[in-house]
Amino acid sequence: MRIASLPNFWLLIALITLILIYPLANQHTGGRVFLVLFDWIILFLALRASRKTWHRPWLGYMLATPAMILYAGVAIFNYAELLVASLFTQALFHGFVVVCLLRYMLHDNVMTLDELFAAAALYILAGFVFGYCFALIEHLQPGSFYINASNNPDNITSWWELLYFSFTCLTSVGVGEITPVSDSARSVVIIEQTTGVLYLALLISRLLSMQRRG
Protein backbone atom coordinates (compact mmCIF):
# COMPACT_ATOMS: atom_id res chain seq x y z
CA MET A 1 0.00 0.00 0.00
CA ARG A 2 1.33 3.44 -0.97
CA ILE A 3 1.90 5.85 1.92
CA ALA A 4 0.16 8.66 0.05
CA SER A 5 -3.09 6.67 0.03
CA LEU A 6 -3.23 6.42 3.83
CA PRO A 7 -5.63 8.96 5.41
CA ASN A 8 -3.71 9.31 8.66
CA PHE A 9 -0.50 10.11 6.78
CA TRP A 10 -2.09 13.23 5.31
CA LEU A 11 -3.64 14.19 8.64
CA LEU A 12 -0.24 13.97 10.32
CA ILE A 13 1.44 16.00 7.56
CA ALA A 14 -1.29 18.66 7.76
CA LEU A 15 -0.94 19.00 11.54
CA ILE A 16 2.84 19.35 11.35
CA THR A 17 2.48 21.89 8.52
CA LEU A 18 0.02 23.96 10.56
CA ILE A 19 2.45 24.08 13.48
CA LEU A 20 5.24 25.24 11.17
CA ILE A 21 3.32 27.91 9.23
CA TYR A 22 1.14 29.36 12.01
CA PRO A 23 3.69 31.85 13.45
CA LEU A 24 4.26 33.48 10.07
CA ALA A 25 0.73 33.28 8.70
CA ASN A 26 -0.91 34.69 11.83
CA GLN A 27 0.98 37.97 11.46
CA HIS A 28 -0.93 39.04 8.35
CA THR A 29 -4.62 39.35 7.46
CA GLY A 30 -4.20 37.26 4.34
CA GLY A 31 -2.29 34.68 6.35
CA ARG A 32 -5.09 34.42 8.91
CA VAL A 33 -7.57 33.80 6.10
CA PHE A 34 -5.27 31.09 4.81
CA LEU A 35 -5.14 29.56 8.30
CA VAL A 36 -8.95 29.36 8.35
CA LEU A 37 -8.97 27.52 5.03
CA PHE A 38 -6.12 25.28 6.13
CA ASP A 39 -7.90 24.47 9.39
CA TRP A 40 -10.95 23.44 7.38
CA ILE A 41 -8.71 21.06 5.44
CA ILE A 42 -7.44 19.59 8.70
CA LEU A 43 -10.99 19.15 9.98
CA PHE A 44 -11.90 17.35 6.76
CA LEU A 45 -8.82 15.11 6.98
CA ALA A 46 -9.60 14.39 10.63
CA LEU A 47 -13.15 13.38 9.68
CA ARG A 48 -11.83 11.16 6.90
CA ALA A 49 -9.23 9.53 9.14
CA SER A 50 -11.67 8.83 11.97
CA ARG A 51 -14.56 7.42 9.91
CA LYS A 52 -13.44 3.80 10.31
CA THR A 53 -14.60 3.70 13.93
CA TRP A 54 -17.75 5.82 13.77
CA HIS A 55 -20.78 4.23 15.38
CA ARG A 56 -23.06 6.96 14.07
CA PRO A 57 -21.91 8.56 10.78
CA TRP A 58 -23.78 11.81 11.48
CA LEU A 59 -21.97 12.46 14.76
CA GLY A 60 -18.66 13.45 13.20
CA TYR A 61 -20.32 15.89 10.80
CA MET A 62 -22.47 17.29 13.60
CA LEU A 63 -19.35 18.13 15.61
CA ALA A 64 -17.22 19.30 12.68
CA THR A 65 -19.73 21.68 11.08
CA PRO A 66 -20.08 24.17 13.98
CA ALA A 67 -16.32 23.97 14.60
CA MET A 68 -15.66 25.04 11.00
CA ILE A 69 -18.30 27.79 10.95
CA LEU A 70 -17.37 29.28 14.32
CA TYR A 71 -13.64 29.23 13.53
CA ALA A 72 -14.31 31.26 10.40
CA GLY A 73 -16.65 33.56 12.34
CA VAL A 74 -13.97 34.35 14.92
CA ALA A 75 -11.44 35.12 12.18
CA ILE A 76 -13.89 37.52 10.48
CA PHE A 77 -15.80 39.17 13.35
CA ASN A 78 -13.63 38.50 16.44
CA TYR A 79 -16.57 38.54 18.86
CA ALA A 80 -15.88 37.27 22.40
CA GLU A 81 -19.02 35.10 22.40
CA LEU A 82 -17.98 33.48 19.13
CA LEU A 83 -14.50 32.82 20.52
CA VAL A 84 -15.85 30.91 23.53
CA ALA A 85 -18.13 28.82 21.34
CA SER A 86 -15.35 28.23 18.81
CA LEU A 87 -12.84 27.05 21.42
CA PHE A 88 -15.43 24.72 22.94
CA THR A 89 -16.48 23.16 19.62
CA GLN A 90 -12.86 22.81 18.48
CA ALA A 91 -11.94 21.00 21.70
CA LEU A 92 -15.02 18.79 21.44
CA PHE A 93 -14.45 17.83 17.81
CA HIS A 94 -10.72 17.19 18.18
CA GLY A 95 -11.43 15.14 21.29
CA PHE A 96 -13.92 13.09 19.27
CA VAL A 97 -11.27 12.44 16.61
CA VAL A 98 -8.74 11.43 19.29
CA VAL A 99 -11.16 8.83 20.65
CA CYS A 100 -11.89 7.53 17.14
CA LEU A 101 -8.19 7.23 16.29
CA LEU A 102 -7.51 5.45 19.58
CA ARG A 103 -10.25 2.93 18.83
CA TYR A 104 -8.83 2.46 15.33
CA MET A 105 -5.32 1.93 16.67
CA LEU A 106 -6.48 -0.66 19.23
CA HIS A 107 -9.17 -2.47 17.23
CA ASP A 108 -7.01 -5.45 16.18
CA ASN A 109 -3.75 -7.23 16.98
CA VAL A 110 -1.89 -5.96 13.93
CA MET A 111 -0.23 -2.54 13.83
CA THR A 112 -0.50 -1.39 10.23
CA LEU A 113 1.40 1.52 8.73
CA ASP A 114 -1.75 3.65 8.75
CA GLU A 115 -2.27 2.85 12.44
CA LEU A 116 1.27 4.08 13.17
CA PHE A 117 0.46 7.35 11.47
CA ALA A 118 -2.80 7.41 13.44
CA ALA A 119 -0.86 6.97 16.70
CA ALA A 120 1.35 9.98 15.86
CA ALA A 121 -1.58 12.13 14.68
CA LEU A 122 -3.53 11.20 17.83
CA TYR A 123 -0.69 12.43 20.02
CA ILE A 124 -0.53 15.79 18.24
CA LEU A 125 -4.31 16.16 18.24
CA ALA A 126 -4.35 15.54 21.99
CA GLY A 127 -2.02 18.51 22.38
CA PHE A 128 -4.46 20.60 20.35
CA VAL A 129 -7.41 19.48 22.48
CA PHE A 130 -5.76 20.61 25.69
CA GLY A 131 -4.51 23.78 23.98
CA TYR A 132 -8.12 24.71 23.18
CA CYS A 133 -9.10 23.88 26.77
CA PHE A 134 -6.35 26.13 28.14
CA ALA A 135 -7.41 28.97 25.83
CA LEU A 136 -11.01 28.54 26.96
CA ILE A 137 -9.98 28.68 30.62
CA GLU A 138 -7.84 31.77 30.03
CA HIS A 139 -10.69 33.51 28.24
CA LEU A 140 -13.24 32.72 30.95
CA GLN A 141 -10.80 33.30 33.83
CA PRO A 142 -8.21 35.86 32.66
CA GLY A 143 -4.87 35.46 34.38
CA SER A 144 -5.17 31.68 34.76
CA PHE A 145 -1.72 31.38 33.16
CA TYR A 146 1.33 33.47 33.98
CA ILE A 147 4.09 33.98 31.41
CA ASN A 148 7.47 35.41 32.43
CA ALA A 149 7.75 39.03 31.33
CA SER A 150 10.90 38.36 29.32
CA ASN A 151 8.98 35.80 27.25
CA ASN A 152 5.78 37.85 27.02
CA PRO A 153 6.63 41.54 26.46
CA ASP A 154 3.12 42.39 25.17
CA ASN A 155 1.49 40.85 28.28
CA ILE A 156 -0.99 38.93 26.10
CA THR A 157 -1.56 35.21 26.56
CA SER A 158 -2.31 33.97 23.05
CA TRP A 159 -3.70 30.67 21.85
CA TRP A 160 -0.37 29.87 20.22
CA GLU A 161 1.48 30.28 23.53
CA LEU A 162 -1.07 28.05 25.28
CA LEU A 163 -0.75 25.43 22.52
CA TYR A 164 3.01 25.47 23.06
CA PHE A 165 2.41 25.11 26.79
CA SER A 166 0.04 22.21 26.10
CA PHE A 167 2.76 20.26 24.30
CA THR A 168 5.27 20.90 27.07
CA CYS A 169 2.75 19.35 29.48
CA LEU A 170 1.82 16.46 27.18
CA THR A 171 5.46 15.50 26.69
CA SER A 172 6.33 16.24 30.36
CA VAL A 173 9.10 18.61 29.24
CA GLY A 174 7.87 21.51 31.38
CA VAL A 175 10.09 24.30 30.06
CA GLY A 176 8.89 26.63 32.80
CA GLU A 177 8.22 30.07 31.30
CA ILE A 178 4.45 29.50 31.45
CA THR A 179 2.85 28.66 34.79
CA PRO A 180 -0.75 27.64 35.52
CA VAL A 181 -2.07 29.92 38.26
CA SER A 182 -5.78 29.16 38.73
CA ASP A 183 -7.08 25.90 40.17
CA SER A 184 -8.96 25.15 36.94
CA ALA A 185 -5.81 25.52 34.87
CA ARG A 186 -3.82 23.31 37.23
CA SER A 187 -6.52 20.63 37.16
CA VAL A 188 -6.41 20.42 33.37
CA VAL A 189 -2.59 20.41 33.43
CA ILE A 190 -2.64 17.41 35.78
CA ILE A 191 -5.00 15.56 33.45
CA GLU A 192 -2.86 16.33 30.39
CA GLN A 193 0.40 15.31 32.03
CA THR A 194 -1.15 12.03 33.17
CA THR A 195 -2.67 11.45 29.73
CA GLY A 196 0.65 12.00 27.97
CA VAL A 197 2.52 9.55 30.18
CA LEU A 198 -0.19 6.88 30.04
CA TYR A 199 -0.56 7.15 26.26
CA LEU A 200 3.14 6.61 25.62
CA ALA A 201 3.15 3.69 28.07
CA LEU A 202 0.11 2.18 26.32
CA LEU A 203 1.66 2.61 22.87
CA ILE A 204 5.00 1.08 23.87
CA SER A 205 3.25 -1.80 25.65
CA ARG A 206 1.11 -2.50 22.57
CA LEU A 207 4.09 -2.48 20.22
CA LEU A 208 6.09 -4.81 22.48
CA SER A 209 3.10 -7.14 22.85
CA MET A 210 2.66 -7.41 19.09
CA GLN A 211 6.36 -7.99 18.62
CA ARG A 212 6.23 -10.94 21.04
CA ARG A 213 3.25 -12.39 19.14
CA GLY A 214 5.16 -12.08 15.91
pLDDT digits (tens, 9 = 90+) for 171-186: 988 777 899 999 999 9
Greatest CA separation found in the chain? Answer: 55
Q: How many CB atoms lie within 10 A of CB 60?
A: 20
* Distance (Å, whole) CA 136 – CA 203: 29
Q: Find the helix or strand (DSSP H, E) in which 47 lies.
A: helix 29-50
Dihedral of alpha carbons 101, 10, 159, 148, sign: positive
Give the three-class secondary structure for 212.
Answer: helix
* Distance (Å, whole) CA 109 – CA 35: 38
The tens-digit pLDDT sequence of the chain (214 residues) is 577 678 899 999 999 999 999 999 888 878 888 888 898 899 889 988 887 776 666 788 888 899 989 988 887 787 778 899 999 999 999 999 999 899 888 887 777 888 899 999 999 999 999 999 999 999 999 999 999 888 888 888 999 999 999 999 999 887 778 999 999 999 999 999 999 999 999 888 887 777 666 5
* Distance (Å, whole) CA 59 – CA 61: 5
Axis-axis angle for helices 57-77, 29-50 (nearest 10): 170
pLDDT number for residue 187: 97
pLDDT number for residue 32: 81
Encode 80-110: b = buried (16+ Cβ within 10 Å), e = exposed. Answer: eebbbbbbbbbbebbbbbbebbbebbeeeee
* Distance (Å, whole) CA 164 – CA 141: 19
pLDDT number for residue 131: 97
Q: List, as one string, the DSSP characters of 118-187.
A: HHHHHHHHHHHHHHHHHHHHHHHSTTSEEE-GGG-TT----HHHHHHHHHHHHTT---SSEEE-SHHHHH
∠ CA 18-21-22, nearest 5°, is 75
pTM (2 d.p.): 0.91
Top-level class of domain 3-213: mainly alpha
For residues 96 and 55, the answer to whether their CB atoms sit within 8 Å is no
* Distance (Å, whole) CA 7 – CA 208: 25
* Distance (Å, whole) CA 184 – CA 161: 18
